[in-house]
Amino acid sequence: MSQRPRPVPGPRSPHPVAAFPVLLAVAIFPVLLAVAVFPAVLAAEPAAAPTDPAASAPTDPAGARVVDLASADGTKLKGTFFPAAKPAPAPGVLLLHQCDQDRRIWDGLARRLAKAGLNVMTFDLRHFGESEGGAAERFGRTAVTKWPDDVDAAFRYLVSQPGVNREVIGVAGASCGVNNAIQAARRHPEVKSLVLLAGPTNAEGRRFLRASPGLPILFGYADDDQYPETITTTQWLYRLHPNPGKRLVSYPDGKHGAEIFKAHPEFEETITDWYLTTLVRTPGKAPAAAPVAVPRGVETLTALEEPGDAAAAMAQLAQARASDPRIAAPPEDILNELGYERLRTGDVKGGLAILKFIAEAYPVSANAQDSLADAYVAAGQPELARASAKRALDLLPADPAAQDERRREAIRKSAEAKLK
């Protein structure tokens, strides 16, 4: 079963296999990212009073102000503009919050950037913080597909302010804000630098990164992130991005996304220096940096991004794991998404190879068996599809990853549909 609905800019592409309508109907978790996200991240409710990581940060520069914005459909949004402490025209930076916080998670960094001479904009997405809309609707398909309009409303405000060099803009995003930041860079060539903290993007976003060798990006995460799949996706995005000045910063603790600042305020200084380098000293450029090694499983994800033989890539990973049991398989959800991407684009052989690997690497996963059944349907092998669907139902009661009632019911319905 396809595990994540894909609500990023534009509608989800219909599955090319007529036998798969159930895939589009059983999206079971709110989407964490405008196209490729982790349900658990989106399901978490923002804290009533997000921690302000700026306890030791510089005082607010004169003129910091709360502002009212309007998205394209009229939804009212709330933001904060931090003007540069220095009066000369200066670049702007747009900070996009994660989906278990609101714009205040960025306050400490925003103050530092403004004191350093950059104009900074933060805002709350609809249904978050002080923006219009109730929390119960924040991850609905309608709301998530409007995120690009909300981001653009804040972007327009930032570049319209006196003293902002509208041709040199930086964007940062954490968690679901990672995809929002990448999509903003796709829409706005004025974006010359990115900071991406612990989050995924969709296939369009990954293609954009691969095709943007001139865009410097700083990636970051903490090893104790409560959403560990975002560590893998951060390493993956870093690995596939071809810019020689890219950086990957990690900390042993700090939790998710911009929460890192509370444990490591020095990370704010690192990001401030990054933006001063890539927006002021050498706009759109970062000095070459030594590459950081990533796990073997991440290398496989990178290989799967290429149009080559997915079956060969999966066979190589399986062989490597057989030789060294310490090599971890990539997270199930990420591989599952890549398998369905292959099926949707007509690469049934590649999709089947990926989904077979998942079923072997995650032998107690009911969803892995149900996904494999979908691949067998696409491959025209109905008996194997039925066998995998039956196996999914057998595993379902004891599957530790399927104890949520909605998820369990969705897997059951998907598997049973293939047995009719």
pLDDT of residue 8: 29
pLDDT of residue 244: 97
pLDDT of residue 39: 41
Select from 229, 258, 281 the last residue of a domain. 281
Is 90 in the same domain as 144? Answer: yes
**Average pLDDT in the chain:** 86
Higher pLDDT, 245 or 139: 245
Which token pair is 269?
A: 């200084």
Give how many domains the chain has, as a whole number.
2
Question: Cα separation of 7 and 358, whole Å?
Answer: 24
| Assigned domain for 8 exists | no
pLDDT > 50? residue 100? yes
Q: Confirm if 31 and 141 have CB atoms less than 8 A apart.
A: yes
Strand order in the sheet with 164-174: 65-70, 76-82, 119-123, 90-96, 164-174, 191-197, 217-222, 247-251
pLDDT > 70? residue 246? yes
Is 308 in the same domain as 267? Answer: no
Comparing 186-200, 225-239, 303-317, 360-374, the range with the smallest average pLDDT is 303-317
| Assigned domain for 290 exists | no
Question: Cα separation of 96 and 186, whole Å?
Answer: 15
Mean pLDDT, rounded, for 225-250: 97
Is 318 in the same domain as 173? Answer: no
Higher pLDDT, 67 or 139: 67
CATH classification of the domain holding 130: 3.40.50.1820
Comparing 28-37, 143-152, 357-366, the range with the smallest average pLDDT is 28-37
In this structure, the number of other CB atoms found within 10 A of the CB of residue 277 comes to 18
Is 368 in the same domain as 275? Answer: no
Mean pLDDT, rounded, for 361-381: 96
Q: Confirm if 338 and 354 have CB atoms less than 8 A apart.
A: yes
pLDDT of residue 3: 56
| Assigned domain for 35 exists | no
pLDDT > 70? residue 269? yes
* Residue 368 half-sphere exposure toward CB, CA atoms < 13 A: 22
| Assigned domain for 13 exists | no
Q: What is the DSSP string of 215-277?
A: --EEEEEETT-SSTHHHHHHHHHHHH---TT-EEEEESS--SGGGHHHH-THHHHHHHHHHII
pLDDT > 90? residue 57? no
Question: Cα separation of 369 and 390, whole Å?
Answer: 9
Question: Cα separation of 51 and 107, whole Å?
Answer: 10
**pLDDT bucket at 279, cuts 50 / 70 / 90:** very high
Q: Confirm if 257 and 175 have CB atoms less than 8 A apart.
A: yes
pLDDT > 80? residue 50? no
CATH classification of the domain holding 373: 1.25.40.10
CA separation, residue 133 to residues 49, 124, 126, 194, 292 (Å): 18, 11, 6, 29, 42
Select from 252, 281, 310 the last residue of a domain. 281
Residue pLDDT, tens place only, 12-28: 232 233 333 333 222 22
Question: Cα separation of 202 and 13, whole Å?
Answer: 12
| Assigned domain for 342 exists | yes
Q: pTM for the complete prediction?
A: 0.85
Q: Confirm if 359 and 369 have CB atoms less than 8 A apart.
A: yes
Residue pLDDT, tens place only, 122-175: 999 999 999 999 888 888 888 899 999 999 999 999 999 999 999 999 999 999
Is 273 in the same domain as 304? Answer: no
Is 255 in the same domain as 135? Answer: yes
Domain housing 320? 21-30+295-417
Is 248 in the same domain as 359? Answer: no
Amino acid identity of residue 344, one-letter, is R
User: Cα-Cα-Cα-Cα dihedral of 31, 401, 21, 349, to 10°?
Assistant: 100
Is 242 in the same domain as 131? Answer: yes
| Assigned domain for 3 exists | no
Comparing 121-125, 266-270, 338-342, the range with the smallest average pLDDT is 338-342
| Assigned domain for 156 exists | yes
pLDDT > 80? residue 325? yes
pLDDT of residue 40: 43
Is 123 in the same domain as 245? Answer: yes
Is 307 in the same domain as 258? Answer: no
355-376 b/e (C-beta count within 10 Å ≥ 16 → b): bbbbbebbeebbbbbbbbbbbb
Is 122 in the same domain as 224? Answer: yes
| Assigned domain for 287 exists | no
pLDDT > 80? residue 49? no
pLDDT of residue 142: 80
Is 232 in the same domain as 377? Answer: no
pLDDT > 90? residue 41? no
H and E: helices and strands count for the chain:
17, 8
Of 286, 383, 372, residue with least CA distance to 2? 372
Select from 281, 314, 333 the last residue of a domain. 281
| Helix axes 332-344 and 296-304, enclosed angle (nearest 10) | 10
